[in-house]
Amino acid sequence: MPIHRSTLARPLFAAAMVVVSSLCAIAQQPPTPSRVRGTIVGVDGDVIAVKSRSGEDVKLHMTGDMRVVGIIRISLADIKLGSFIGATTVPGPDGRQDAVEVHVFPENMRGTGEGSRPYDLRPNSTMTNATVAETVAGNDGQTLMIKYKDGEKKIVVGPDTPVVTYVAADKSDLKPGAKIIAFVKQLPDGSFETNRVSVGRDGLTPPM
């Protein structure tokens, strides 16, 4: 008895539609956050309760090896030739990159995350960790040429751009009211764990 091609095609078509539907469902799911920014509401054992900047209540499970670093404000003048910095930038006029924030790494953190990549602080923002190779003062702030292993970038740091650096901190700094940025991983049960938290000192909100 001959087998018609249409008979064979039906199950193949149905399988293809299932795959397409699954891919569409995955594409429509919100991306899993890799960072949580917000204010600590409370700490209970190894769990930090956070009110995120977008208003969500998030609970973060601290890993046993979690690292805590403090963030303090410094001045634009503290950015020197040879400084290793991280800069969040957005496209500005004439193709330049305007800094939204700059954080200066201490020497023992030199090389951390070197390179340039998309970032989630603002739409179209980029994070670049690089060495300051040139600095030119101007009326609208400072223009920096920063270089990393795969390239270079010219950025403009305005007089009102937050400039910060890292200092030593520990879990005792994680208390209600503190502003944090936590690097998180989603667990199979949907909860989040964190192994690194940056906490603002003296009420500072980490600008990155």
Digit-coded pLDDT (tens) for 4-45: 544 444 444 433 333 333 333 333 333 455 899 999 999 999
Tell me the per-residue pLDDT of 146-172, one tens digit each, with 9 for 90 and over: 999 989 999 999 999 999 999 999 999
The sign one gets for the Cα dihedral 9, 11, 15, 18 is: positive
* pLDDT above 50 for 180: yes
Check whether residue 66 and residue 77 sit in a common domain.
no
What backbone torsions phi and psi does residue 94 show, to the nearest 5 degrees?
Answer: 60, 25
Number of alpha carbons in the 13 Å side-chain half-sphere of residue 9:
3
Please give the radius of gyration of the chain, using alpha carbons only, rounded to the nearest integer.
23
Q: Report if residue 121 sits inside a domain.
A: yes
CATH, residue 51: 2.40.50.320
Per cent of the chain over pLDDT 70 is 84
Q: What residues make up the domain containing 138?
A: 72-163
Task: Please state the rounded mean pLDDT for residues 93-107.
Answer: 93
SS3 81: coil
Q: Which residue has the higher pLDDT, 13 or 74?
A: 74
User: What is the per-residue pLDDT for 33?
Assistant: 54
Q: Report if residue 2 sits inside a domain.
A: no
Q: If you search the block for the tokens 């023992």, which residue do you land on?
A: 108
Q: Report if residue 92 sits inside a domain.
A: yes
Looking at the structure of the chain, the number of domains it has is 2
pLDDT band at 189 (very low <50, low <70, confident <90, very high): confident
SS3 110: coil
Check whether residue 124 and residue 84 sit in a common domain.
yes
* pLDDT above 50 for 129: yes
The Cβ of residue 208 has, within 10 Å, a number of other Cβ atoms equal to 20
* Total residue length of the chain: 208
Tell me the per-residue pLDDT of 49-66, one tens digit each, with 9 for 90 and over: 999 999 999 999 999 999
Check whether residue 97 and residue 131 sit in a common domain.
yes
User: What is the per-residue pLDDT for 165?
Assistant: 98
User: What is the per-residue pLDDT for 96?
Assistant: 84
Q: Are 141 and 157 in contact (CB under 8 A)?
A: yes
Check whether residue 139 and residue 123 sit in a common domain.
yes
User: What is the per-residue pLDDT for 138?
Assistant: 77
